[in-house]
């Protein structure tokens, strides 16, 4: 029976794992063991909608408390800048491409062949004006559910998680693992720099890319994604914000040998060039980054490999976070993957009353492998179809990126256009990107498809009227600064069920939705 858990690692993965386990299984004794000497990676600041869903719905962490302590900014989606032939297009956390205006004969994607993406949906409209909440009839903000993801500074986020974990009774210990002791059944203890040895029934490996337990001690094989994802390094460096507006989205911009992200915090702007070391040297990448971002003060280089371990739960070790898998940050998916891993681990332990059985672990491993493989296949289409630059890197991507599991979806699109009819067979129900993600990227990049439908003059007029009405709503909406004032006022109440999601949608079947009700 599992009574004592040691979580190795005090980054976002370690603390999210500790909180999730303790919240779901309060009788567990959970200790986070982390090395202040090694520190945390300190990047990973954009999220998808899965992160607030986990925090506020599954864990029931109050929005007010989170906003006060972690100070997140809003992310409505990603704006792909100079990506393909258009000046820009968006992938938002709403249904834009997978939507159908009833006054038009076909789904929205069929009207987006040409032109800009500025008003294809309300969320793109908001992004185009750097606004975040629509204004209701009496001037109040209207916030639809499940559209607001976060930008949050990694250090603030981890500090928040640490204090929240302490409040739940999680113990935190500062020490460094020097040696991992094991026998045929798994890990038997961790020998520490202080001279002592810690033991547990179950070890969570959240030691980041080092994967001290899963990769290091247990030597689980690593499945590389390099046939699809060529980037393996980043130059990162934030700068202080002055008077530029806070954008309610992440920007992803094409670069010579990769792409650049821009993440918006209230007082800083975080910018990073993700590149392939096979196509550009560190010095040249840094020079290209600085030429485009003259305000960057200090920079650092981060190395990574995209891929996952074959199994993430082996014997008495569950790896969560970068220690289990990593896919480069194009869609800012690692934190959401961590949340899914944490939920799956906690639900597995709960389901068996902490007496583990091999078939539960086998299914857990299938689920976690799928989480990472799906991110890989979605990212494949970002690289395969970006026709913006003719550099050696981008030529190689167009010619050789392995579409992996995305091949059927692309073939369906090429034959049928942006049709969503077979969404349910093309994409599994718990795929976080869904048809919206695929169509945003395929239509956004203007990937050619067989022209089965040409909108007539009347449909085009109707489409213009729709876009004009979106433009008006978006122009009058709350800017990020105005919205911050509103949500920081003492009387502000967040709408209930802002992040409601049934667990079944996460691919986990448990009656009931959240552990606690978020205020
Ligand atoms: C360039 C880049 C950009 C990224 N952007 C995003 C993004 O926008 N969104 C997103 O979701 N994700 C992003 N990620 C992923 C992000 O890094 C992770 O989601 C997140 O930081 C989780 O890290 P972690 O907790 O697994 O590892 P870490 O933060 O590295 O933590 C590892 C922990 O293990 C401890 N440790 C290691 N070895 C030992 C030892 N021997 N003894 C004791 N303790 C030990 C360390 O001290 C530390 O506490 C990005 C990653 C990169 C590389």
Inter-helix orientation angle 358-384/434-444, to 10°: 20
Under DSSP, is residue 271 helix (H, G, I), strand (E, B) or coil? strand
State residue 387's pLDDT score: 98
Among 371, 260, 276, residue whose Cα is nearest residue 320: 371
The CA-atom distances, in angstroms, between 423 and each of 37, 100, 259, 384, 420 are 48, 14, 29, 21, 5
274-277-279-284 Cα dihedral, nearest 10 degrees: 80
Domains of the chain listed by start with CATH number:
4-73+150-225+307-375 (3.50.50.60)
Per DSSP bridges, beta strands 29-34 and 171-174 are parallel
State residue 514's pLDDT score: 47
Best substitution site from 150, 208, 265, 299 to test ligand 1's pocket, by max atoms within 8 Å of Cβ?
208
13 Cα nearest atom in ligand 1: 25
190 Cα nearest atom in ligand 1: 42
State residue 272's pLDDT score: 96
Contacts of 45 (CB under 8 A, 6+ apart): 151, 152, 153, 154, 157, 263, 265, 270
Instruction: Indicate whether 50 pLDDT > 50.
Output: yes
236 Cα nearest atom in ligand 1: 1
Under DSSP, is residue 272 helix (H, G, I), strand (E, B) or coil? strand
State residue 284's pLDDT score: 98
Under DSSP, is residue 496 helix (H, G, I), strand (E, B) or coil? coil
Q: How far is the CA of 251 from the centre of ligand 1 (A)?
A: 22
Tokens at residue 451, please?
Answer: 């022209």
The Cβ of residue 422 has, within 10 Å, a number of other Cβ atoms equal to 13
The residue-averaged pLDDT of 117-131 equals: 95
Strands (E), 225-304: 233-240, 250-255, 258-264, 268-275, 300-303
H or E segment at 92?
strand 88-92
Rounded-to-integer distance, Cα 15 and Cα 7, Å = 8
Q: Who wins on pLDDT, 513 or 19?
A: 19
Rounded-to-integer distance, Cα 106 and Cα 505, Å = 27
Rounded-to-integer distance, Cα 345 and Cα 340, Å = 9
Tens digit of pLDDT for each residue in 148-157?
999 999 999 9
H or E segment at 191?
strand 186-192
With a 6 A CB cut-off, is 45 part of the ligand 1 pocket? yes
Q: How far is the CA of 234 from the centre of ligand 1 (A)?
A: 14
Q: How confident is the model at residue 502 (pLDDT cuts 50, 70, 90)?
A: low
The Cβ of residue 417 has, within 10 Å, a number of other Cβ atoms equal to 21
The CA-atom distances, in angstroms, between 78 and each of 194, 381, 432 are 45, 15, 15
Rounded-to-integer distance, Cα 352 and Cα 256, Å = 51
State residue 123's pLDDT score: 96
- Please say whether the beta carbons of 421 and 106 come within 8 A: no
Q: How far is the CA of 516 from the centre of ligand 1 (A)?
A: 28
Q: How far is the CA of 14 from the centre of ligand 1 (A)?
A: 9
State residue 505's pLDDT score: 57
**Rg from Cα positions in the chain:** 23
The residue-averaged pLDDT of 357-365 equals: 97
Tens digit of pLDDT for each residue in 452-486?
799 999 999 999 999 999 999 999 999 999 999 99
- What residues does 234 pair with on adjacent strands? 274, 302
Nearest protein CA to atom 37 of ligand 1, as residue: 207
Rounded-to-integer distance, Cα 159 and Cα 164, Å = 9
Mean pLDDT of the residues in the chain? 94
- Please say whether the beta carbons of 339 and 51 come within 8 A: yes
Tens digit of pLDDT for each residue in 246-265?
999 999 999 999 999 999 99
The position carrying tokens 């009496």 is 138
Q: How far is the CA of 321 from the centre of ligand 1 (A)?
A: 7
Rounded-to-integer distance, Cα 440 and Cα 117, Å = 10
With a 6 A CB cut-off, is 215 part of the ligand 1 pocket? no
State residue 504's pLDDT score: 58
């Amino acid at each position: 029976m599992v009574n004592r858990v040691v979580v190795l690692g005090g980054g976002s993965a370690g603390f999210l794992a500790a909180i999730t386990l303790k919240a779901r299984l309060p009788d567990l004794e959970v200790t986070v063991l982390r090395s202040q000497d090694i520190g945390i990676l300190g990047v990973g600041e954009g999220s998808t909608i899965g992160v607030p869903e986990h925090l506020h719905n599954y864990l029931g962490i109050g929005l007010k408390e989170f906003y006060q302590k972690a100070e997140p900014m809003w992310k409505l989606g990603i704006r792909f800048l100079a990506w393909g032939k258009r000046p820009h297009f968006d992938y938002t956390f709403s249904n834009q491409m997978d939507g159908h205006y009833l006054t038009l004969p076909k789904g929205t994607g069929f009207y987006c062949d040409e032109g800009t993406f500025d008003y294809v949906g309300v969320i793109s409209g908001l992004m185009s004006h750097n606004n975040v909440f629509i204004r209701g009839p009496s001037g109040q903000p209207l916030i639809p559910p499940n559209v607001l993801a976060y930008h949050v500074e990694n250090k603030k986020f981890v500090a928040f998680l640490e204090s929240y974990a302490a409040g739940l009774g999680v113990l935190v210990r500062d020490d460094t693992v020097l040696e991992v002791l094991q026998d045929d059944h798994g890990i038997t203890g961790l020998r520490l720099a202080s001279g002592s040895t810690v033991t547990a029934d179950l070890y969570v490996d959240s030691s980041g890319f080092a994967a001290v337990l899963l990769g290091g001690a247990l030597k689980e094989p690593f499945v590389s994604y390099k046939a699809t994802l060529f980037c393996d390094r980043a130059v990162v460096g934030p700068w202080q914000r002055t008077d530029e507006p806070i954008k309610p989205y992440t920007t992803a911009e094409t670069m010579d040998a990769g792409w650049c992200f821009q993440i918006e915090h209230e007082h800083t702007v975080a910018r990073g060039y993700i590149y392939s070391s096979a196509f550009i040297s560190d010095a040249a990448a840094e020079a290209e980054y600085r030429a485009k971002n003259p305000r960057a003060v200090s920079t650092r280089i981060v190395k990574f490999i995209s891929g996952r371990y074959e199994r993430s739960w082996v014997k008495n070790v569950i790896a969560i976070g970068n220690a289990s898998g990593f896919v480069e940050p194009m869609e800012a998916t690692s934190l959401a993957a961590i949340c899914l891993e944490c939920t799956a681990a906690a639900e597995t332990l709960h389901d068996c009353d902490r007496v583990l059985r091999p078939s539960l672990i086998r299914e857990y491993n299938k689920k976690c492998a799928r989480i990472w493989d799906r991110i890989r296949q979605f990212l494949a289409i970002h690289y395969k179809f970006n026709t913006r630059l003719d550099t050696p890197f981008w030529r190689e991507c167009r010619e050789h990126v392995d579409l992996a599991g995305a091949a059927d979806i692309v073939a369906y699109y090429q034959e049928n256009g942006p049709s969503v009819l077979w969404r349910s067979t093309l994409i599994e129900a718990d795929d976080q990107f869904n048809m919206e993600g695929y169509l945003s990227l395929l239509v956004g990049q203007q990937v050619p498809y067989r022209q089965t439908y040409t909108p007539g003059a009347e449909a085009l007029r109707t489409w213009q009227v729709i876009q004009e009405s979106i433009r008006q709503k978006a122009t009058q909406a709350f800017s990020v600064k105005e919205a911050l004032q509103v949500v920081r006022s003492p009387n502000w109440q967040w709408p209930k069920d802002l992040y409601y999601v049934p667990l079944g949608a996460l691919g986990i079947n448990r009656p009931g939705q959240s552990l606690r009700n978020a205020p």
